[in-house]
């Protein structure tokens, strides 16, 4: 059998509709020492293909990071087979907060071997990513973030916290995880070594590596939200706890976000009205992901600019010529970073944001 997908999007959508599974979106990660990532990857691919699982997974010598959709009828078997793998026995599974049965979170199964499951820009052979900080459940997180001696840091990128974040969190204006590590250490943590450091991200994989790194760098009171925003939202709902997250939780699949609360804290990047839905520019040679209200979505034909509207009305062959040889993968999540968008996020500069948050935490 082929150990990779060979079909186009239309064929994949038709296939998923025909088999008629009701899927549940699951994410999980595990930092572990994997000696042969290629063999590990192939085993997962063959096992999961047999269960009609779709999604995106990265495997490396440092562990695994998975975002997948599992047919509900195969959930028990999936869990059974997963837990038979020694390093994944009992691994925490994060189930989607919001699941819409009329749309697919993923269309195909993609499992890739990488040098790291999370690109970090670090080059330190003495760093052990498994020596992590203290995990906090939802109640402990709420309690510790009520402490005025606590720094609450959003470890996601600017385009994620723009549509939803925790109350009182420091929101660094960064584009990547590797950019976050030095920025947060230099502008937030230095001089605040005596404070409680609490970090959160979508599912936990980023702040777990960050917590291990900051411990490695000598910081003592390092904590992370266990299971990230996904587990927190589910736990608050199930246990009747106060939910301190407002807005949407951005996710890296076809859904693009999960609604946590009804609050809309972002604005349309084209007209400035309250909005928090994302659109990929319909011009495949642009493909910018940005926030767009329903009115602008109709007026602009799912495009980010008039120039892109002109492109999508060209013959398909002309459009293909415009994007030939271009690698667009890095543009997809460059949300709000385009001069074509008149209402980009106009908040204060990153250092000012941090200083204000520190001032609030000290007051």
Q: Which residues are catalytically annotated?
A: 201
Look at the block and give the residue holding tokens 């409680």: 196
- What is the spatial distance between Cα 265 and Cα 329, in angstroms, rounded to a whole number? 27
317 class by beta-carbon count within 10 Å (0-12 exposed, 13-18 middle, 19+ buried): exposed
Report in angstroms the alpha-carbon separations of 354 from 161, 185, 351.
14, 12, 5
- What is the spatial distance between Cα 113 and Cα 318, in angstroms, rounded to a whole number? 35
User: Smallest Cα–Cα separation from 70: which of 14, 30, 25?
Assistant: 25
Which sign does the torsion angle of CA 339, 342, 343, 347 carry? positive
Q: Could you write out the DSSP letters of every residue in 76-142? A: HHHHHHHHTSGGGTT---EEPSS--TTS-S-SSEEEEE-S-SS------TT--TTS--EEE-HHHHH
């Amino acid at each position: 059998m082929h150990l990779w997908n060979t079909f186009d999007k239309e064929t994949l959508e038709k296939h998923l509709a025909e088999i008629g599974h009701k899927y549940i979106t699951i994410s999980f990660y595990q930092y572990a020492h994997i000696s042969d990532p290629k063999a590990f990857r192939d085993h997962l691919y063959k096992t999961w293909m047999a269960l009609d699982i779709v999604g995106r997974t990265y495997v490396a010598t440092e562990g695994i990071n998975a975002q997948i959709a599992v047919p509900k009828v195969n959930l028990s078997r999936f869990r059974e087979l997963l837990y038979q793998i020694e390093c994944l026995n009992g691994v925490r599974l994060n189930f989607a907060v919001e699941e819409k049965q009329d749309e697919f979170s993923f269309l195909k199964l993609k499992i890739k071997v990488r040098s790291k499951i999370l690109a970090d820009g670090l080059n330190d052979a003495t760093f052990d990513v498994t020596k992590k900080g203290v995990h906090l459940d939802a109640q402990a997180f709420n309690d510790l973030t009520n402490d005025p001696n606590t720094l609450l840091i959003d470890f996601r990128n600017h385009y994620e916290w723009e549509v939803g974040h925790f109350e009182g969190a420091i929101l660094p204006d960064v584009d990547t995880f590797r950019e976050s590590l030095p920025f947060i250490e230099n502008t937030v943590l230095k001089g605040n070594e005596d404070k409680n450091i609490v970090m959160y991200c979508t599912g936990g994989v980023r702040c777990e590596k960050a917590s291990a790194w900051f411990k490695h760098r000598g910081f003592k009171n390092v904590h992370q939200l266990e299971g990230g925003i996904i587990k927190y939202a589910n736990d608050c709902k199930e246990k009747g706890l106060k939910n301190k997250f407002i807005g949407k939780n951005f996710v890296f699949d076809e859904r693009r976000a999960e609604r946590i609360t009804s609050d809309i804290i972002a604005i349309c990047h084209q007209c400035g009205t309250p909005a928090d839905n994302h659109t990929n520019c319909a011009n495949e040679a642009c493909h910018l992901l940005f926030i767009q209200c329903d009115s602008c979505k109709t007026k602009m034909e799912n495009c980010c600019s008039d120039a892109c509207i002109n492109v999508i009305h060209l013959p398909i062959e002309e459009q293909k010529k415009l994007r030939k040889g271009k690698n667009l993968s890095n543009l997809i999540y460059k949300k709000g970073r385009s001069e074509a968008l008149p209402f980009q996020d106009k908040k204060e500069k990153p250092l000012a944001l941090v200083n204000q948050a520190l001032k609030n935490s000290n007051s």
